[in-house]
Structure 1
């Protein structure tokens, strides 16, 4: 009886390990245990292509370029256990006065919805919670020195941001 029980317990542990591993993989949906966030970025920079690079401490979404008024979307799984998911982006466009601009595109301690639409303009990023939302939540660009300091610190503590806003409701 004991060997049969050990096999049963071992089988359950293996099944749980497989499901958890599948949940951690991008693009694989096993059971919706770990929530996924979808972020849309829309280029609102006048008459200029928007180049951007988004990443978190372990994943890199790569470099992308958007034509004026075009939209790009990507998704990722959030860290539900440690509440430390942080995605940030670097934005550049032609004829800008400064080299580049940074913003925190998703901060787990600030954001609690599953879908975000960011409108990127020259004055800064603005967030819409859904298509029906007419009120934009606009933010200033992150300070470059603070962003570089945070980039080193994010490897240790991923939920620190340059500005802490209260969570926004999804309704």
Structure 2
């Protein structure tokens, strides 16, 4: 895949203005829309369609903080993705296991208030982790060695996201029971 920052013509940074990113994507989508190329030769239509697909893929990457961080790491030459990340610390694993157990107890007891509290606490943790990732990128200034610290934060963010997905699934399940 091509570089998503280059594809959308935005500055490669973690703390993107998502509103400006959405606007840039809309403008590019309008410019590449198939209706604009209806009378063009087939090769030009295929090229525009390919660029539109790339723009949509780039938008999906940059909208998601984990994938955006991975794209920045790739640009800096740092191994990325779950395979390249360091293993989670035992403390984080223990904390997540305890949180999951508490969530399971709340789900079993059909306690929506407790589930909501657990979800809110994890949302706050997600925000703090995103802030830490942003700070790590700013401090590293594309130095591959310093960017290694982002990998541990991304691992933590993945655990947080999985927990929040579980909270959503449980909340949906409880709503369906009503």
Which category describes the TM-score, using the shorter chain as reference length?
A: under 0.3
When you count helix as a share of all residues, which structure comes out higher? 2
TM-score by length of 1: 0.24
TM-score by length of 2: 0.23
When you count strand as a share of all residues, which structure comes out higher? 1
Which structure's relative contact order is higher, taking Cα pairs within 8 Å and 6+ residues apart? Answer: 2
